[in-house]
Amino acid sequence: MCEQQKIFEKQPSRGSSNYSSSSTTSMSGDDKEIGYRASTSRHQYLLANNSILHFLCIKIHLNFIRMVMAEVVGTFILMFCVCGIIASTQFQNGAVGLLEYAATAGLTVVVIIFSIGPISCAHVNPAVTIAFATMGQFSWFKVPAYIIAQTVGSMSATYIGSHVYGIKSDVMMTKPLQGCNSAFWVEVIATFIIMFLIAALTFQSQSVGQLSGFVAGMAIGLAVLITGPVSGGSLNPARSLGPAIISWKFKDIWIYMVAPSVGAVAGALMFRFLRLRDQSLSFSNISDVGPHPLPLCARRSGPVILQVGKKIGVYSLKE
């Protein structure tokens, strides 16, 4: 009897075996279905991400092409206007002087800034492009494309302008009028002033607002006035390189390649060195310091003890 009971206990019931096998089969099926759904959703997620990234890459690529084309158009406008004023000087036997040339250059820059500024920042000058890249405000990866675009725009305007106005392309070349040394240094100093102003307008745009284009144009006109009698008033490597390539005359071209670039980089770095960063002033244990704010002339850390009349306060500078 005991032996039969032991045998009975050892034999598993068929119902429980079928139930466990069926439950195992159903669980494995559910797991497979869940895994399939997870893999499908993950695949769809990856496809969506790849599509978004592909779209963004195409959009960024198209935006960069627009920027480069804008630089071509902007430099073309600049050089065509310069060609027009030079042709007027030729037609009137020198009656159009330096003042008219400077005004034309300044007004043209204003037009360019307001037209292509929102697209490509209106560099239209390799020296400005290099200076912004040196400051870290422009990608070095984009610099070659910008310089090529600016040179192409200058060459196109020189070629078309010389045929439209019926003048020789070498008339548009810039040449040292008072020696190479004087031309080099006046180009360096004038471009330094221009880039120093451009950097100030870039970092302090709120104080100038919509007038920044007019301010930059006035600066260009002033620079042409002070450089024209000495160097011909280039201030722009593309402005000198385009006519030189079209006429295939490269005498003293190094002055107009090196000097504006050196001056622009120096002006940008000088402004970066002198620029006052935003600082906030917090007060502790301070009483009546008067109606006027105290000037912050240097960057300091930690508490600063100042005496205002007979009142002593402790300031802490926070950046």
Query: What is the 3 state secondary structure string of 255-266?
Result: HHHHHHHHHHHH
Report the alpha-carbon distance of residue 12 to residue 167 in Å, rounded.
Answer: 110
- Residue 115 CB partners (closer than 8 Å, separation 6+): 74, 77, 122
**pTM score, two decimals?**
0.68
Report the alpha-carbon distance of residue 58 to residue 69 in Å, rounded.
Answer: 16
**pLDDT surpasses 70 at 81:** yes
pLDDT for 77: 95
Question: Which sequence spans correspond to the domains of the chain?
Answer: 50-274, 280-318
For the four alpha carbons of 284, 290, 291 and 295, in that order, the dihedral sign comes to negative
pLDDT for 109: 93
**pLDDT surpasses 90 at 151:** yes
pLDDT for 213: 84
Phi/psi zone of residue 310: left (φ > 0), alpha (ψ -120 to 50 degrees), beta? alpha
CB 156 within 8 A of CB 148: no
Architecture per CATH, 50-274: Up-down Bundle (1.20)
The model's confidence at residue 202, banded by pLDDT at 50, 70 and 90, is: confident
The model's confidence at residue 220, banded by pLDDT at 50, 70 and 90, is: very high
CB 69 within 8 A of CB 184: no
Residues facing residue 311 across a β-bridge: 308
pLDDT for 269: 92
Whole-number CA gyration radius for the chain? 35
The residue that leads in pLDDT, 310 or 103, is 103
The residue that leads in pLDDT, 202 or 317, is 202
Chain position carrying tokens 């451009």: 198
pLDDT for 212: 83
The Cα angle at residue 108 between residues 107 and 111, in degrees rounded to 5: 90
**pLDDT surpasses 60 at 292:** no
Q: Which contiguous run of DSSP H or E holds residue 291?
A: none
Q: Which of 12-21, 67-76, 211-220 has the highest mean pLDDT?
A: 67-76
Q: What is the mean pLDDT of residues 12-18?
A: 48
Q: What is the mean pLDDT of residues 227-238?
A: 90
The model's confidence at residue 35, banded by pLDDT at 50, 70 and 90, is: low
DSSP codes joined into one string, 108-163:
HHHHHHHHHHHHH----SHHHHHHHHHHTSS-GGGHHHHHHHHHHHHHHHHHHHHH
